[in-house]
């Protein structure tokens, strides 16, 4: 069976997971382990007047209680946002200080004020409850529009009116003029509901300080251990990089939430030095709800103008994005360069203008969650298109088709330059697979059962393969977004690939091995993928933004190019042939058209024995590469959702969900389909079930699985997943990335289907039975 590109290879990593031998951070236990618990604010906004830890410290088995004054006193730096966004008047964003442990003020429920270190986890938690904090409560604000209102409580002194920045993109005047001249203008107010990412593995950290070596080791639940080390070292001054090893072992899902470097990791590292003990902290789910960065939380109004033929002439969007109480690592980029730049959708639109105001509130920080900005953009675009089609009496599929970008490359008015795609092919494939022509009959049949059946489309586009370093640098990014790889051929011919990408469910240990096995025509068992350890892999930017295929694998290809060149040189020398005649196949390195050959392993051995290498060639067979993408990649596709609504109760079932995606080259269809399934599930979750709810005082109302509606098996349908691909011209494999598409494309498809079924546009996410029932009643 082939294990190369395009093969449905079962995963190399599975065996340890299905037998309970995975090694996650909480599974790590060091000698003489100590445990941490955090003292957290129960108030959304308060001055900290004093902390009395004496009762906790006096308990048997409590090692120490450390606070924010001590932390800042030791020179631990504030947590930073790594992407500088300017307001449209040129002023820099108003970033408030964020200390890993609050010093004088707490700004959300869950803000940490002290860390307790004890001999057991249970004891640490009990002791944390014994710490008395004297809070002076302050008025709080949780909703972003209320935070911008006159007289709203101030979250940070240096962000007047709670405004972080007032950003714009595109041409305001031209867009206004286009809308003024439009034959039809569709207008919608849209809310993108706030979500909690909920990777099933709660965050965890095990920090160990080695006093003799003056060296720290951190096991942590991270999607990007090198970035964690960089930030912990360069900005938080925990330890210099060469004195800090960060290991992200098996990580149980991320979805963006494990990109960021949180207060807990910083505090545990620092506490390990203060107490000279290895300090372990593992979040429980309730703690995760009040500490893991949330996602989405946009309020938007949009106007889309059409000419008499249904051609879009202009789009104007005004968005308020809630960033919570502090600016998390990528928080500023999500509602700007990952959102407003995608507001051309799949459509050829000449005039676009988007204004984005981001605000502080007394809530958990908001940052990237699966899709990060692009789901919010897709929701605006695809709700607008469906609504416009209804208002103009046009077929929603044909309105889309008539506006699709047809020629590539295509420069949008909002920065992005689409490189390849065939949007019409995806729409057609999805419509055929969904049997759209049979919908009327299905609707009629559903009506005989008293059900309202509806159909909804979503033609999404996203920008992945994040990102060309110079381009993002010019837009304010604090880091380059390349990736690195090292390909080590051992003397026996087996291969280790060290990658800066990080797998936390994506199956890199399999797909990455597939491209190596194919390239050198070797058994996939002979290839091992190594990742997640800063002592093993030199550097890497990690996994997010569907970048591991387009950027991570491209780096591997680049390193393999170098390995191949050296292999051919060695073989040509030993076999006394021309390099150009050397071919690698079937485990051998041969002279084409002759019977002269060396085993692949013999070339490896030759490189290391170095007895007979070409003059001036260095021994060894190990090559590294850094790959910086030339452009974003642009996965796109069409999703079609069908629902049945019970008008008596509002209960809604997704009865059919069809996807046609263009991900470019597909390495492992089984894994790609799994990524789409999971993304769609999170998208349906957003559309129908999930929402983080705060009350007006900033208290989190639904911080557990008893209250936050996680999608369960019976909430979700089977998915019908298809591919109609164009090759990405900007990377060597032609790949585009598939990790986020499902979560980006699906929410508007669901809402478009429900609103089609119930005959009203007035429906917010999540479309719970109550919300749907209310919408039906309001429309009557």
Partner 1 sequence: MTNVNMTVNGKAVSRDVPDETLLSEFLRENLRLTGTHVGCDTSQCGACVVHVSGKAVKSCSTLAVSLDGADVTTIEGLADGDLHPMQKAFTEHHGLQCGFCTPGMIMTSVDMVHRYNAAGKVLTSDAIRNELDGNICRCTGYHNIVRAVEDAASKMEAKGGS
Instruction: Verify binding: residue 505, partner 1, rule CB under 8 A.
Output: yes
Helix 600-609 vs helix 554-575: angle between axes, to the nearest 10 degrees? 80
Tell me the site size for partner 1, rule CB under 8 A.
57
* Interface segment toward partner 1; rule CB under 8 A; list 183-191, 357-365, 589-597, 671-679: 671-679
Among residues 165, 255, 330, 520, the one that binds partner 1 under rule CB under 8 A: 255
Instruction: Verify binding: residue 766, partner 1, rule CB under 8 A.
Output: no
CB atoms within 10 A of CB 558: 20
Instruction: Verify binding: residue 347, partner 1, rule CB under 8 A.
Output: no
Number of Cα atoms under 13 Å in the Cβ half of residue 259:
25
Instruction: Verify binding: residue 15, partner 1, rule CB under 8 A.
Output: yes
Instruction: Verify binding: residue 26, partner 1, rule CB under 8 A.
Output: yes
| Per-residue mark of binding to partner 1, 418-447 (x: CB under 8 A) | ------------------------------
Q: Give the helix ranges, DSSP H, for 302-373.
A: none
Strand order through the sheet with 204-210: 62-67, 112-118, 34-40, 279-282, 204-210, 215-220, 244-247
Among residues 251, 541, 641, 763, the one that binds partner 1 under rule CB under 8 A: 251
- Is the CB of residue 351 less than 8 Å from the CB of residue 178? yes
Work out how close the CB of 505 gets to partner 1 at its nearest, in angstroms, rounded to a whole number.
3
Considering the complex, state which of residue 197 and residue 635 has its C-beta at the smaller distance from partner 1. Answer: 197
Chain centroid to CA 738: how far? Answer: 11
Whole-angstrom distance, CA of residue 400 vs CA of residue 388 = 10
- Is the CB of residue 345 less than 8 Å from the CB of residue 427? no
What residues contact 459, with CB distance under 8 A and at least 6 apart?
345, 346, 382, 385, 400, 404, 423, 426, 427, 636, 637, 638, 639, 745
| Per-residue mark of binding to partner 1, 110-149 (x: CB under 8 A) | ------------x---------------------------
* Interface segment toward partner 1; rule CB under 8 A; list 105-113, 249-257, 296-304, 386-394: 249-257
Work out how close the CB of 673 gets to partner 1 at its nearest, in angstroms, rounded to a whole number.
8
Instruction: Verify binding: residue 309, partner 1, rule CB under 8 A.
Output: no
Considering the complex, state which of residue 55 and residue 126 has its C-beta at the smaller distance from partner 1. Answer: 126
* Interface segment toward partner 1; rule CB under 8 A; list 90-98, 239-247, 643-651, 714-722: 714-722
DSSP state of 549: I
* Interface segment toward partner 1; rule CB under 8 A; list 15-23, 55-63, 234-242, 491-499: 15-23
Give ∠ CA 354-357-363 in degrees, rounded to 5: 135
Q: Return the residues of window 183-242 that contact partner 1 according to CB under 8 A.
A: 198-202
Instruction: Verify binding: residue 690, partner 1, rule CB under 8 A.
Output: no
What residues contact 209, with CB distance under 8 A and at least 6 apart?
215, 216, 269, 272, 273, 276, 278
The torsion of the CA quartet 460, 769, 677, 732, rounded to 10 degrees, works out to 20
Work out how close the CB of 17 gets to partner 1 at its nearest, in angstroms, rounded to a whole number.
3
Considering the complex, state which of residue 8 and residue 88 has its C-beta at the smaller distance from partner 1. Answer: 8
Instruction: Verify binding: residue 61, partner 1, rule CB under 8 A.
Output: no
Q: Which of 415, 728, 318, 360 is nearest to 546 (CA)?
A: 728
Instruction: Verify binding: residue 747, partner 1, rule CB under 8 A.
Output: no
Considering the complex, state which of residue 154 and residue 220 has its C-beta at the smaller distance from partner 1. Answer: 220
Among residues 506, 511, 543, 656, the one that binds partner 1 under rule CB under 8 A: 506
Whole-angstrom distance, CA of residue 685 vs CA of residue 653 = 12
Instruction: Verify binding: residue 718, partner 1, rule CB under 8 A.
Output: yes
Whole-angstrom distance, CA of residue 625 vs CA of residue 613 = 23
Considering the complex, state which of residue 253 and residue 587 has its C-beta at the smaller distance from partner 1. Answer: 253
Work out how close the CB of 69 gets to partner 1 at its nearest, in angstroms, rounded to a whole number.
31
Considering the complex, state which of residue 167 and residue 663 has its C-beta at the smaller distance from partner 1. Answer: 663
Among residues 20, 50, 160, 615, the one that binds partner 1 under rule CB under 8 A: 20
Give ∠ CA 551-552-553 in degrees, rounded to 5: 95
Work out how close the CB of 655 gets to partner 1 at its nearest, in angstroms, rounded to a whole number.
12
- Is the CB of residue 118 less than 8 Å from the CB of residue 124? yes
What phi and psi values does residue 136 have, to the nearest 5 degrees? -110, 105
Instruction: Verify binding: residue 680, partner 1, rule CB under 8 A.
Output: yes
- Is the CB of residue 328 less than 8 Å from the CB of residue 219? no
Whole-angstrom distance, CA of residue 10 vs CA of residue 763 = 41
Instruction: Verify binding: residue 673, partner 1, rule CB under 8 A.
Output: yes
Instruction: Verify binding: residue 18, partner 1, rule CB under 8 A.
Output: yes
Considering the complex, state which of residue 194 and residue 622 has its C-beta at the smaller distance from partner 1. Answer: 194
Residues that bind partner 1 (CB under 8 A): 10-11, 13-24, 26-27, 29, 122, 198-202, 250-253, 255, 284-286, 504-507, 670-671, 673-674, 677-682, 704-706, 710-714, 716, 718-719, 742
């Amino acid at each position: 069976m082939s294990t190369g590109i395009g093969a449905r290879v079962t995963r190399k990593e599975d065996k340890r997971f299905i037998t309970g031998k995975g090694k996650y951070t909480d599974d790590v236990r060091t000698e003489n382990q100590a445990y941490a618990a955090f003292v957290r604010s129960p108030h959304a906004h308060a001055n900290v007047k004093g902390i009395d830890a004496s009762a906790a410290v006096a308990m048997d088995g409590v090692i120490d209680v450390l606070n924010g004054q001590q932390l800042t006193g030791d020179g631990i730096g504030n947590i930073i946002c790594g992407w500088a966004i300017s307001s449209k008047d040129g002023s820099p964003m108003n970033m408030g200080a964020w200390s890993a442990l609050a010093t004088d003020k707490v700004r959300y429920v869950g803000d940490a004020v002290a860390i307790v270190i004890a001999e057991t986890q249970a004891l640490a938690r009990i002791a944390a409850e014994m710490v008395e904090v004297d809070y002076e409560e302050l008025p709080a604000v949780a909703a972003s529009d209320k935070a911008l209102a006159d007289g709203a409580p101030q979250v940070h002194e240096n962000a007047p009116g709670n405004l972080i920045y007032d950003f714009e993109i595109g041409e305001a005047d031209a867009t206004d003029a286009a809308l003024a001249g439009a034959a039809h203008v569709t207008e919608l107010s849209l809310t993108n509901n706030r979500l909690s990412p909920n990777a099933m593995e709660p965050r965890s950290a095990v920090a160990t300080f080695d006093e003799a070596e003056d060296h720290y080791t951190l096991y942590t639940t991270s999607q990007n251990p090198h970035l964690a080390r960089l930030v912990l070292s360069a900005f938080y001054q925990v330890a210099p990089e060469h004195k800090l090893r960060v290991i992200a072992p098996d990580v149980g899902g991320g979805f963006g939430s494990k990109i960021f470097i949180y207060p807990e990791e910083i505090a545990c590292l620092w506490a390990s030095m203060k107490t000279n003990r290895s300090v372990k902290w593992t979040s429980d789910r309730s703690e995760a709800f009040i500490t893991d960065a949330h996602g989405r939380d946009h309020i938007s109004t949009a106007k889309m103008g059409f000419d008499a033929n249904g051609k879009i002439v202009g789009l104007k969007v005004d968005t308020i994005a809630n960033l919570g109480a502090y600016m998390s690592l990528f928080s500023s980029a999500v509602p700007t360069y990952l959102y407003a730049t995608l507001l051309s959708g799949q459509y050829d639109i000449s005039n676009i203008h988007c204004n984005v105001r981001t605000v502080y509130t007394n809530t958990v920080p908001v940052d990237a969650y699966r899709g990060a900005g692009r789901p919010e953009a897709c929701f605006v675009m695809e709700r607008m298109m469906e609504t416009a089609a209804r208002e103009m009496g046009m077929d929603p599929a044909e309105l889309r088709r008539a506006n699709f970008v047809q020629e590539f490359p295509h420069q949008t008015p909002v920065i992005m330059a689409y490189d390849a795609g065939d949007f019409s092919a995806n729409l057609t494939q999805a419509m055929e697979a969904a049997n759209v022509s049979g919908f009327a009959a299905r609707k009629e049949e559903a009506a005989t059962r008293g059900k309202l059946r509806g159909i909804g489309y979503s033609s999404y586009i996203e920008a992945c393969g994040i990102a060309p370093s110079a381009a993002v640098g010019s837009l304010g990014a604090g880091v380059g977004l390349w990736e690195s790889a090292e390909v080590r051929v051992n003397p026996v011919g087996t291969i280790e690939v060290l990658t800066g990408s990080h797998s936390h469910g994506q199956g890199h240990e399999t797909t990455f091995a597939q491209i190596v096995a194919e390239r050198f025509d070797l058994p996939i068992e002979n290839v091992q993928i190594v990742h997640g350890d800063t002592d093993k892999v030199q550097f890497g930017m990690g996994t997010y933004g569907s970048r591991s295929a387009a950027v991570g694998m491209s780096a591997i290809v680049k390193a393999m190019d170098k390995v191949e060149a050296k292999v051919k040189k060695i073989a040509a020398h030993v076999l006394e042939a021309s390099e150009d005649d050397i071919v690698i196949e079937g485990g051998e390195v041969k002279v084409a058209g002759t019977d002269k050959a060396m085993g692949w392993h013999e070339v490896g051995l030759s490189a290391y024995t170095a007895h007979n290498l070409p003059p001036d060639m260095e021994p060894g067979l190990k090559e590294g590469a850094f790959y910086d993408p030339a452009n974003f990649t642009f996965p796109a596709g069409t999703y079609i959702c069908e629902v049945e609504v019970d008008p008596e109760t509002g209960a809604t079932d997704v009865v059919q969900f069809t996807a046609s995606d263009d991900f470019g080259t597909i390495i492992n269809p089984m894994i790609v389909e799994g990524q789409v399934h999971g993304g769609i599930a999170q998208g349906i979750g957003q559309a129908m079930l999930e929402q983080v709810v705060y009350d007006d005082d900033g208290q989190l109302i639904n911080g557990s699985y008893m209250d936050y509606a996680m999608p369960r098996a019976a909430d979700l349908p089977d998915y019908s997943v298809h591919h109609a691909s164009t090759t990405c011209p900007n990377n060597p494999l032609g790949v585009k990335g598939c990790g986020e598409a499902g979560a980006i494309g699906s929410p508007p498809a669901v809402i478009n289907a429900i609103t089609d079924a119930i005959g009203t546009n007035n429906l917010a996410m999540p479309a719970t039975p109550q919300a749907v029932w209310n919408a039906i009643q309001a429309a009557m």
